[in-house]
Chain A
Amino acid sequence: MLSVKENMIVEFSADLLKQFSEVVSRYPEGKQKSALLPILHIVQAEYGWLSVDAMEKVALFLNIQPIEVFEVATFYTMFLLQPSGKYLLEVCRTGPCCLVGAEKIMDHLEQKLGVKEGEVTPDGLFAWRGVECLAACGFGPVLQIGPSYTFYENLTVESVDQLISDLTNKSKNEA
């Protein structure tokens, strides 16, 4: 069984619910379960992760059992079932990227951010993890940052440093 350490009670806004309904309209009548993955993406973009409460409310909206949502959310690797850093840097760690230095980039991230894979920096800003092939093998090493899944290609130690400093500044300006 999964141990869920944290929960977050959510209330979907009218705008979110409108987006959900738009998604549901893409499928034939009675096939609203098809909307599950798109809706989970929308929820995760909104809250940063998928809490049990959020998933139960998605189940309610789609008129399916909560276990059906849990089954799906735990199958697909993009869905985060616990809070992560504001910027989750996902580095491709599969074969072709490793031929051009992906492992070096991950080692550097670990050093630079001072946290192990999956952990969050004390300021809550960054986390990193290795992910499997991102289909950008010719431009490796690559990393992506959700929820827009912006890609950063042909990474070097220097460009990673630059990216981290840019994101730190961006976050400061937003605050």
Chain B
Amino acid sequence: MAEEIQKFKVTIDGITIDVDPGTTILNAARQIGGEIVPPAMCYYSKLEGSGGKCRTCLVKVSKGSEKDPRPMPKLVASCRTTVMDGMEVLNITAPEVVEARKAVVEMLLINHPLDCPVCDQAGECKLQDLGYEHGALQQRYEFERRTFERIDIGDKIQLHMNRCILCYRCVFVANQLTEKREHGILNRGDHAEISTFIHQALDHDFIGNVIDVCPVGALTDKTFRFKNRVWFTKPVNAHCNCSKCSGKVTLWYKGTDVIRVTARKDEFDEVEEFICNECRFERKHTDDWVLEEPTKVSDQSVIASNHYEAFNPPAVIKNDPQLKEANVEQLARSEKLK
């Protein structure tokens, strides 16, 4: 039998878990699960090199490790920082983390069009969730927002750059799932944009996955455009015998019509397996599929319940006045939802 791997002990918001060396703080937190998992807008476990950019997953390392217990001087991106044995991490139990996250959300929203009422992503948008959980009630940004032309990259995918948060996930998809990347990040700073530079259709069997990895409504499925709000649709897991991909998908029904096909997503909203364009865009009849069961939808999702779940923090937050203060908005919302 193989030698047992030495596990690292890490404590996040007071909850201890043993993980394999090389695990990031974020993935350790995901193993624990629940409220203490930092949000991640750019990290995607299936895309190598992703993460570190959006800064929503910042956490505080209050103890570096058993060997070197010094705290880390700055907040760190939990998605790109690996755990050390004995490390202690504070996420929602550190007021400065809560504050920094609010700051990042505010920054992400200042140039966002906030056009959720007409955005196909609404209801399954990570930025919407983030804004709901950490955003301020009022915006302080009073200037004109950055705008871009809306463009069709191919006949099936629309790029709505105004909504983009530059997570780079779609670039990683093109790099890692296709042989020839045709779109990328152009320009820099607050002018940076996703583009093909010269008008070009993205054409590859797996390029449709950019829609699934996009955390916001920047890349949307044109075959589903304005068809319906996601919370009025019923997701059902199905499979088919596909020569290109696993054929494991979620069908989104409106009545008896399949109005959208996506990859299956896990509890962290990452696809389980990437699917091919044919499954996504062409197979829109129940006949094309073998149905399995209704897709399990997190009860946090508006798709399941039409409202958000109450915030149920660990006891430490309820008892510590400073932490209570830092989470005042979330706690107030939970009261309202009762």
**Interface residues, chain A, with chain B CB atoms under 8 Å away:** 1-2, 4, 52, 65-68, 70-71, 74-75
The one of B149, B180, B198 that contacts A65, using a Cβ cutoff of 8 Å? B180
Chain B residue numbers with a CB within 8 Å of A65 are 180-182
A2 contacts B186, CB within 8 Å? yes
CA distance A1 to B180 in the complex (A): 19
CB distance from A173 to the nearest CB of B (A): 39
B149, B151, B181, B198 interface centre (most CB from chain A within 10 Å): B198
Query: How far apart sit A52 and B198, CA to CA, in the bound complex (Å)?
Result: 8
Q: Given A1-B149, A67-B181, A67-B183, verify A75-B198 contact (CB < 8 Å).
A: no
Q: A2-B187, A68-B184 are in contact. List 10 more A-B contacts (CB 8 A).
A: A1-B148, A1-B149, A1-B195, A1-B199, A2-B195, A2-B198, A65-B182, A70-B186, A74-B188, A75-B187
Given A1-B199, A2-B195, residue A67 in contact with residue B184 (CB < 8 A): yes
User: Given the complex, which residues of B lie within 8 Å of A66, measured CB to CB?
Assistant: 197
Q: Is B196 an interface residue (CB 8 A)?
A: yes
A1 in contact with B151 given A52-B198, A74-B187 (CB within 8 Å): yes
A-contacting residues, B17-44, CB 8 Å? none
B185 at the interface (CB under 8 A from A): yes
- Closest Cβ of chain B to A43, distance in Å, is 16
Expressed in whole angstroms, the minimum distance between the Cβ of A37 and any Cβ of chain B is 15
Give the Cβ gap from B190 to chain A, nearest Cβ, in Å.
13
Count of chain B residues with Cβ under 8 Å from any Cβ of A? 18
By secondary structure, the A interface counts as: helix
Q: How many interface contacts (CB-CB < 8 Å) are there between A and B?
A: 41
> What separation, in Å, do the CA atoms of A66 and B193 have in the docked complex?
16
Pull 8 A–B residue pairs with CB atoms less than 8 Å apart, ordered by A: A1-B149, A1-B195, A2-B197, A65-B181, A66-B197, A67-B182, A68-B184, A74-B187
Contacts of A2 in B (CB 8 A): 186-187, 195, 197-198
Could you tell me the distance in whole angstroms from the C-beta of B157 to the nearest C-beta in chain A?
13
Q: Which of B188, B193, B198 contacts A4 (CB 8 A)?
A: B198
- Please state if A1 and B197 are interface contacts (CB–CB under 8 Å): yes
Chain A contacts of B198 at CB under 8 A? 2, 4, 52
Docked Cα-Cα span, A75 to B188, in Å, equals 5
A141 to chain B, nearest CB (A): 25
A71 surroundings in chain B (CB, below 8 A)? 184-186
Contact B186 A74 (CB under 8 A): yes
Q: What residues of A have a CB within 8 angstroms of the CB of B182 in the complex? A: 65, 67
In angstroms, Cα B315 to Cα A19, docked, is: 68
CB distance from B152 to the nearest CB of A (A): 10
